[in-house]
Every structure is written in structure tokens, then in C-alpha cells.
Amino acid sequence: MVLLSRFLGVTLDQGPFFIPKDLQIQPLKGTSPGKLGKAGIMASDCEPALNQAESRNPTLERYLGALREAKNDSEQFAALLLVTKAVKAGDIDAKTRRRIFDAVGFTFPNRLLTTKEAPDGCPDHVLRALGVALLACFCSDPELAVHPQVLNKIPILSTFLTARGDPDDAARRSMIDDTYQCLTAVAGTPRGPRHLIAGGTVSALCQAYLGHGYGFDQALALLVGLLAAAETQCWKEAEPDLLAVLRGLSEDFQKAEDASKFELCQLLPLFLPPTTVPPECHRDLQAGLARILGSKLSSWQRNPALKLAARLAHACGSDWIPAGSSGSKFLALLVNLACVEVRLALEETGTEVKEDVVTACYALMELGIQECTRCEQSLLKEPQKVQLVSVMKEAIGAVIHYLLQVGSEKQKEPFVFASVRILGAWLAEETSSLRKEVCQLLPFLVRYAKTLYEEAEEANDLTQQVANLAISPTTPGPTWPGDALRLLLPGWCHLTVEDGPREILIKEGAPSLLCKYFLQQWELTSPGHDTSVLPDSVEIGLQTCCHIFLNLVVTAPGLIKRDACFTSLMNTLMTSLPALVQQQGRLLLAANVATLGLLMARLLSTSPALQGTPASRGFFAAAILFLSQSHVARATPGSDQAVLALSPEYEGIWADLQELWFLGMQAFTGCVPLLPWLAPAALRSRWPQELLQLLGSVSPNSVKPEMVAAYQGVLVELARANRLCREAMRLQAGEETASHYRMAALEQCLSEP
């Protein structure tokens, strides 16, 4: 009786209770046995038995009555012990367990958990251990696991995981086991992970694992579950602690010489951050993978390693692979293994495809494509690139073979989406090889892209499913676009230059689909939308669409004239360019829109929309602004005469811009004789006068011949089209400037009345 008094810190003033000497306290299933002192209760005493029939036990009913009528902690504790005697472990069903909870309530365990001082002779953690044991018993009921009185204990329970104490103390070990049982029960409910994360459980689990104390393996298991359920929230709340766990696991992976390295291969992808992997982990992860993949392995040993490598490639590109001979050999090994796996999976009809593994191999192939096309600081040497291009060509052939077998019923499967993605990555860089096979597949690709475009919600969901398939445990990274068409745009841009593929694309309705897609994507960049949150892929996709349309303007002008979708496209270009040229950081997109609009205007010059309407005037004014602001006069030290130089805004991107600028100048020149109102509009903008003034203020030797030709083309057409333009040019010393720059055509035009 003294022991019970010490446990509870109360005086037993209601007379002695008889505690049966043969009372056996059963341990939790799957944990170390132990007792809370000489009289305690384990959570497993409340474990339900499967298929247990409901029954009424007279003895149990009497003890439950005593439990409900208990007047103090001493009586309640004694009655609770008698209940555990009446109901042996495994002999309790859900209803009976709930009746025990109703009799006990939360008040008693709450006091046990929050007691600050233990009675003399009682370790301070014993009362808390008893409180946790009661909570663990209650948490075996899913409804009680989400009770507010359980959820508000999460911060307290989390602290128990990292509390210091005697590692051999049985009561402390039992308390840790019961704590994990409580937290695991909460995690198993729909909103449980969110409550655990908010309660600081993730950090506590990380610290418990890193401390390698009792139950650290349970901490790792629960961490895995939380990361799988709510990766983003876990990293947001406990990034430093999770990174510490990742570093520890990476070190273990690098050192592992036994079968544990294969287990770590399966575990590590869950602990990779959603953004990028810390550089300090790169060496250990790469070394561990190199040791595994460089050995002769069975598929169950190799596949997790390929999936881990794919996660790293997706998150870090090739940054995690060291430079030098060892890194290049490792990368070549990765890509070769991936290509072999893809061919084995897809070339044999009727073979069950391990879609998660093949999708991981696609990611490694994509890394190989990137490195083979990189000109500077590539990990690969030229002979390695040649060899990898050859094996990747064979693997892409297998992908095409697979896609040709895909029926309409499979088009919405994530693996098909992943297969189209890797094909799109290949076609973006290489269209000359496998040309026959690619042309054979083009009708399917157009229909596939159209299907997903028309069902955009399903397309976005497919992106998520593909990410879940092998690359990322939850959300996709920024390199995964949300639609199939964007995957194919770069390849189609190359293919529209070639006669055969272009005819197939036109026949299958690709131009009309591209116009609709462009207009839809353009809406995302229009006023009223926050363009700062848009991924770069949206603007890149718009630019690539413009390149495809430019190819069609040059190679299939008849299509532009007869297809009504291009009239709608032209209207959008005209209304959008004036605002676009004023926006900072979007010059390259403005260049694409301006140049495409100018080229299309030549073909659609008879359209009513181009006959001096406000929209057409605004478009050409914006186009003049883009063309006229590219160059400025810049003073040079030690010289009296300035030189022609690029404007600061244009200078940094001129390599990507110059072809569009020259094409735009040529297209504007072609529009002048077709649109009678354009020359007077250009004169009002003062572009011809300012252009001559610019040329007159710089050294002719600083102006390259191609620039002279471009400027002369515009000035000549404006002078020919309008008498007032000629007069304005003469007043701006046009004839003298033409002579200095040897612009014979302009000089002759200005000499005429």
C-alpha cells in the first residue's frame, strides 16, 4: 500500500485495497517487456482482439462501476488495476475499451502527465509513464486518437522522445514505446500528420533518431510515414533537423558494406528535400551508388539504386556527380544502365513493365541528353558522348515502339505521359535520327497532346502521378510541366522546318492546336494575372510557339492566309505587344511577338484588322519601339567620335535576340509598301529622323555592314512610300549620311523629287 501511495502522491484514507499478487502486466506487442514499478499498466492491456465477440463480464462490470465511483486518484488507480485483471490482454473489444475510457476519462492521465513532483522514492518519470500508457490504450480507438485531449498532448509526448534518463530503465522504455504508439495512432488518421507536424513531432523524431537511443528505429519509421503523407509541411517546419537526418543517412549509406545499403537506397529518396540536396551529401550519396551500381546485382538490388539516382538527377541535375574521370565514368554507367533497362522493358511485347523503374530510367536518360548537348563544363568526354547518344537512340526507339502500341484507353495513364516526356526531351535536341519512326508516331503525338489540352485538369493530375511514380514522393519539381504539349514544342519546332514532318503536323491539325494553346497560355500573362508566380516554362513555351509559327510563316505561307486560327492569333499579337514592350525583363518574348506579328502582317495585309485600326497602329508603334531602341551612341575614351553600341537592356541577351531583330527589320521593311498608312505613322514616331541622327553621331567604322543594310532597307522603303518622309530625311542630312555609309539606294531615293 505504501508503494501505491508513493505512485500517486496521495494518502489512502479509504481503507486498504487488495492488489492480487498474481496480477500479470502484459507488455506491448512488438516492444520490450516491462512494468511500471511493481504495479503498472501497459498500453497493450487494451489491445483489441480480432473478431472478438461482444460480451458482458460481471466482474468487469463491477470493477468498471468502482472505477466510475472512485473518489480520488488512489481509488481510481486501484480500480483500474482491477479492470486489467478482469480483462486480460487480447480479450477486449472496441466497445469495452470505449467503456473503460468513459469510466477513466482524461482527467486522471492528464494529471499524471503534468505532475511536476513525484513522491519520495518514486522516479519522476514513472507517473508520466503511467499517463502515457493510458493514452496509448485510448489511442487504439481511432475516434479517441483524434480527440482534442489527445491532440493537445502531442507537444508533451514529443518531448518524451528526447528526454534524458537511464537507457536501461524498464519504465522509461515502456513510456517511449507507448509514446510511439500514441503518435503512430494519431499519424494514421486523415488529419493526424498535420497535427503532429504542428506539435513539433518531426523535430523531436529527428533528434530521437540522431541520438540513437532506445526506440530510434521507431522514430525513423514514423518519420518515413510523415514525409510520405506531408513532405512539404515537414520540410517547412523542421528543415534543419531533417537535413541532419539526411546527412546521417548519407554517411551510413557511404559506409555500408552489408545488405543495409540496399535498405538505405529505398529509404533515402524520402529524405531528399523538395528543392535541392545539400552539397555536403553529394559525395556520400554518389560514392554509395557507385559501389552498388558498379557491382553485379539482381534487379531487386539495382532498381532502388536507379530510383535514388533519378531523384538526385531530378533535384540536382549533374551537380551531385564529381568532375573528372570517376564522375564521367559513373555518369556513363548510369545512362547505359538506364537505356538497357528501358529496352528490356519496352521492346518485348507482353512483358510486364515496372513503370516506376522505367520512369526513373527516363530521368537518367534525360540527364544524359543534357550532358551530351552541353558545350561547356560537361562531365563527359567526346567519345563518351558519341557512345551515349548511340545507346540512347536505341532506347528512344524502344519508347517509340511502346507508344505506337498505346490505345486510346491508356492515353491518360501516367507512364504514357512519362514516355512522351522523354521522347520530347530527345526530339528537342535530335530529330535527324529515327526520322521514319518519328514521322510514324506524329499523328499519335498530336492526338495525345490535343486530348490532354482539352482535359487540362487531367493533364495536371498526370504530372502529379508521374512524379509519384518514381521521381518524387510528393509534388513534382519545377522542371515538370503541367501539359504534354509543352513537352513536345521544342521537337515540333525542329520538325516544322522539314517538309515531311511539317506536312504530317499540318494534316493532323497541329497548327490550329498550337494557336489555341498559345492563346490560352497568353491569358496567364495578361493584366490581372500575377506573372511573378508563373513558372519560367510558361514564357519559354510562348517563345517556342512563336518559333514554330515563324517556321510556318516562312515555309507554309498559304496556311497562314487560309486558316482562321491565324487571324485570331494576329489579333492577339496586335493587342498584346504595346503593353509587353513596356515590361521589364520580358524583352525576348516581346521580340518574338513583334517579329512574328510583322511577318504575319505581310501575309495578312489585306485583312480589315490591319487597315489602320487602333489595334494595328498600336502594334506597329510598339514594334518600332522594339526595333529603334536596340542601339545607342556611346562615347569612347580618347576619341572625339562616338561608336554604335547595344543598349544595356539588349546587350545581355543579344545572342538570342539578334536574329529576331534582323528578321523584324526585314519584315517591317516588307510591310511599308503593303500598308499605305504605315509610312506616315513611322514619320510621326520620328523613327527615320532619329535613326539618321544616330548614324550621323557615330563613326561609320563602328557600324557593321549587316546593320547598315538593315537600316538602309527601312529608310529606303519609307522614303519611297511617302514624300513627307523623304523631305524629313533630307532635313536630317539624309543624303550626306547615306553617302558616308555608302547607302547608294537611299542616296538615290533622296535625290529624287
pLDDT, one tens digit per residue, over 396-427 is 999 999 999 988 888 888 899 999 999 999 99
Q: What is the mean pLDDT of residues 640-658?
A: 93
Range 576-752: architecture per CATH: Alpha Horseshoe (1.25)
Pairing label, strands 631-634, 643-646: antiparallel
Amino acid 650: pLDDT = 96
The whole-angstrom separation of Cα 274 and Cα 623 is 42
642 neighbors 700 (Cβ within 8 angstroms): no
What's the pTM? 0.81
Amino acid 615: pLDDT = 96
Q: What is the mean pLDDT of residues 524-550?
A: 80
Task: Provide CB contacts within 8 A for 419, sequence distance 6+.
Answer: 362, 399, 402, 403
Q: What DSSP designation does 348 have?
A: S
The whole-angstrom separation of Cα 332 and Cα 318 is 12
Residue 92 has pLDDT above 60, yes or no: yes
CA distances from 653 to 219, 311, 543, 658 (A): 51, 32, 14, 8
Q: Is 203 exposed, middle or buried (0-12, 13-18, 19+ CB in 10 A)?
A: buried
278 neighbors 320 (Cβ within 8 angstroms): no
Which one has a higher pLDDT value, 683 or 83?
683
Encode pLDDT of 678-706 as tens digits.
999 999 999 999 999 999 999 999 999 99
The whole-angstrom separation of Cα 300 and Cα 338 is 15
* Grid cell in block for residue 519: 492563346
The candidate with the shortest Cα–Cα distance to 72, out of 10, 25, 120, 118, is 10
Amino acid 555: pLDDT = 95
Give SS3 for 504: helix
The whole-angstrom separation of Cα 749 and Cα 752 is 6
* Grid cell in block for residue 379: 562531365
Lowest model confidence (mean pLDDT) among 243-247, 291-295, 635-639: 635-639
Task: Provide CB contacts within 8 A for 36, sequence distance 6+.
Answer: 25, 42, 126, 129, 130, 133, 171, 174
Per-domain residue ranges of the chain: 576-752
DSSP string, 313-339: HHHHTTTTSPSSHHHHHHHHHHHHHHH
Mean residue pLDDT of the chain comes to: 84
Give the whole-number percent of the chain exceeding pLDDT 90.
Answer: 62
Amino acid 6: pLDDT = 31
Amino acid 462: pLDDT = 56
* Grid cell in block for residue 556: 507554309
